Amino acid sequence: MTLAMEVTGLTKIYKNGRGIMDMNLELYQGDIFGFLGPNGAGKTTAMKIMTGLMKPDRGDVKIFGASVLHDYVNAMKHVGCIIETAETYPYLTAYENLKLFARFYPDVDEKRIDECLEITGLLKFKNEKARRFSLGMKQRLGLAAAILSRPKLLILDEPLNGLDIEGMVDMRNLIKRLAEEEGTTFFISSHLIHDVELTCTRIGVVHAGRLVSVEYTDRILANYASLENYFISEVDRSGRV
Amino acid sequence: MAGFKAAFANELYKLMKRKKVITAAVLSIVAVLVGQAAVTAIQMGFGLRMAGGGDFPLVVLPLLTYTLLPMFAAFVAIDMFSGEFATNTMKLTLTRPVSRFGVFCAKTASLAVFIIGNLLFVMVLSMIAGFLFNTSPGGIGEIVRVVCAYVATFLPVFVFSLLVVLLANLFRSGAAVFFLSLLIYAAFHLAGIMFSSYSSFLITSMFDWYTLWISETFNAAKIIREFLIMAGMGTMLFAAGFYLFDRKDL
């Protein structure tokens, strides 16, 4: 199995003492990894370090063998991401936003931009400025930007934020289709545990900055009634320790 | 390099789409028109010849260099850094396959293009106005002097804008950066007057660097000395700005 992402000894402590501590993780190509944890557990911090938005105190992240710290350009060639919120340039249209991102990838042409707008249901709003978009539409545009380069690894922080029910189902199906057909690896954080249960093949639980467990979803569901029960049990156990 | 090219093209595209560029163009036209009206009024009212067709652009240049150009260069620099950090759109570029150095270079290069563009725009506009409204059009020599003056003006204004870039990476609030830039600009001018022997170390004192290029006696030694001071300042400000930009956690 090809190693898509390797996290070793990742540590980042903020002045208030919170952050992440000694995080180790291996992600294989085709995994749909659900990253769960209570608020403030360190999920976004970990994702920001993985995408180079933040520098760790210690440790490293390698994406398809390239270090985010030492070989950033090669590491990010294969990555698409939404971190914290799906931002867009409000003074540009949906098409112009994607056109800007397309310049970084030689293989992305006009056809691919339209394809991404079609996949995310934004084709009819192609020429509308992003400032007029609703939260859900901005989230869709963020997703279109993330999948634009056909990345091998997608890091998505709360990708279902602001989406309507139809949008959530579409997103779920898209994630499964990309993982099955194109072997895309996903690293997803979400508080919508039901959606994580339906979508993700592996689950990692982070609590108080530490990755307390990593397990396959089917094994979890063989031992627990639901992912929610597993999550609460792991967080409780970690809290007691 | 590919990442830099893409980031540079994107920065220019974003710049063109912002209202500040249009405002800068409109105010530049107003500056030329005001300058022309003043020259015409003095000629008609007092019978004094302020500028011929050829050197009218040199009347407009200080007006541009000391007011509009540094102000708009500061606005653009603040928008590019503080603005994008504040609206969280900086991460859109930083999560692409391009190094932070590439992004920083692309942003400062597009800031340079904005300054050059604005100078060229005013130069051409004031040349046209000069030839249309003034009676004694200059020859090729006049045009060369004007081009020299406008080209030379780029460097001090660009170095000043690098100072704003440094501040924009030091402080989060765009308003704070703008007012601090304004304060530094005024303080440098005042210090240049009060401590004239040290004025060559203040970037605002070099805004009239172009006068050395167009004076009757060409003082090469002074031109080179001021160029080296500005190049040194520019390099230090660029390096310090990049250091802060590179260390920034989003």
Q: Quick check: A53 and B18 CB within 8 A? A: no
- Answer with the one of A150, A175, A192 that is the final residue of a domain: A150
Domain count of the fold of chain B:
1
- Taking 90 as the threshold, does the pLDDT of residue A232 lie above it? no
Domain match, A146 and A164 both: no
pTM (two decimals): 0.90
Q: Is residue A83 part of a domain?
A: no
Same domain, A17 and A47: yes
Q: How confident is the model at residue A13 (pLDDT cuts 50, 70, 90)?
A: very high
Task: Decide: A191 and A183 in contact? Cβ < 8 Å.
Answer: no
Q: How confident is the model at residue A229 (pLDDT cuts 50, 70, 90)?
A: confident
Task: Look at chain A and report how many structural domains it folds into.
Answer: 2
Within-domain flag for A33: yes
Would you tell me how many other CB atoms lie within 10 Å of the CB of residue B1? 7
What integer pLDDT is reported at residue B227 of this predicted model? 93
User: Do residue A155 and residue A234 come from a single domain?
Assistant: yes
Chosen domain end from A98, A128, A150: A150
Last residue of a domain, one of A150, A172, A189: A150
Asked whether the beta carbons of B203 and B188 are under 8 A apart, the reply is yes
Residue A123 has pLDDT above 80, yes or no: yes
Mean pLDDT across B137-158: 87
Residue B100 pLDDT > 80, yes or no? yes
A236 and A124, same structural domain? no
pLDDT band at A100 (very low <50, low <70, confident <90, very high): very high
pLDDT value at A11 more than 90: yes
Q: Which of B162, B155, B157, B163 is nearest to B231 (CA)?
A: B155
**Quick one: B199 exposed, middle or buried, by C-beta within 10 A (0-12, 13-18, 19+)?**
middle
CATH number at residue A197: 3.40.50.300
Q: For residue A233, is it within any domain? A: yes
So what's the ipTM on this one?
0.89
Q: What residues are paired with A211 via a beta bridge?
A: A206
Would you say residue A216 has pLDDT above 80?
Answer: yes
Q: In whole numbers, what is the pLDDT of chain B averaged over residues?
A: 87
pLDDT at A35: 92
Helices marked H in B47-139: 56-63, 69-78, 84-86, 90-94, 100-133
Q: Is residue A197 part of a domain?
A: yes
Q: B153 in contact with A at a CB cutoff of 8 Å?
A: no
Q: Which of A54, A92, A104 sits opposite B249 (nearest CB)?
A: A54
Inter-chain touch B6–A74, beta carbons under 8 Å: no
pLDDT tens-digit profile of B35-76?
777 777 777 777 666 666 567 888 888 888 888 899 999 999
Range of the domain at B231: 2-247
Q: pLDDT per residue over A164-177, tens digit each?
A: 888 888 888 888 88
Residues A155 and A70 in one domain: yes
- Indicate if A135 and A161 belong to the same structural domain: no
Quote the minimal CA–CA distance from B165 to chain A in Å.
Answer: 20
In this complex, the residue of B14, B96, B247 whose CB is nearest that of residue A104 is B96
Residues in A 157-186 with any Cβ partner in B closer than 8 A? none
Q: How high does pLDDT run on average in chain A?
A: 90
| CA torsion, ordered B69, B73, B76, B81, to nearest 10 deg | -170
Q: Are A66 and A125 found together in one domain? A: no
What was the pLDDT predicted at A117?
A: 93
Distance CA A161, CA A145 (A): 16
Count contacts between A and B (CB, < 8 Å). 70
Res A103: pLDDT? 93
| 71-130 of B, contacting A, C-beta below 8 A | 87-89, 91-92, 94-100
Residue B48 has a pLDDT of 64
Distance from CA of A80 to the nearest CA of B (A): 8
Residues A173 and A227 occupy one common structural domain = yes
| Mutant choice from A14, A81, A89 vs B, greatest count of B C-beta within 10 A | A89
Q: What is the pLDDT of residue A8?
A: 93
**Does a structural domain hold residue A189?**
yes
Q: Which two tokens stand for residue B194?
A: 């009060």
Provide the pLDDT for residue B161. 95
Mean pLDDT in residue range B224-238: 94
Same domain, A21 and A140: no
Q: For chain B, how many residues are written? A: 250
Domain co-membership, A129 together with A193: no
Asked if B16 has any chain A CB less than 8 Å from its own CB, the reply is no
Beta strands in B127-216 (DSSP E): none
pLDDT digits over A50-63, tens only?
999 999 999 999 99
Q: Which domain holds residue A138?
A: 90-150
Interface check for B248 against chain A (CB to CB < 8 A): the answer is no
In a domain, A85, yes or no: no
Q: How far is B174 from chain A (nearest CA, A)?
A: 18
A103 and A182 fall within a common domain: no
SS (H, E, C) chain A: CCEEEEEEEEEEECCCCCEEEEEEEEEECCCEEEEECCCCCCHHHHHHHHCCCCCCCEEEEEECCEECCCCHHHHHCCEEEECCCCCCCCCCEHHHHHHHHHCCCCCCCHHHHHHHHHHCCCHHHCCCEHHHCCHHHHHHHHHHHHHCCCCCEEEEECCCCCCCHHHHHHHHHHHHHHHHHCCCEEEEECCCHHHHHHHCCEEEEEECCEEEEEEEHHHHHHHCCCHHHHHHHHHHHHHHC
Q: How far is A237 from chain B (nearest CA, A)?
A: 32
Model confidence at B135: pLDDT above 70: no
A217 min Cα distance to partner chain B (Å):
29
Identify whether residues A171 and A120 lie together within a single domain.
Answer: no
Query: How much is the pLDDT for A159?
Result: 85
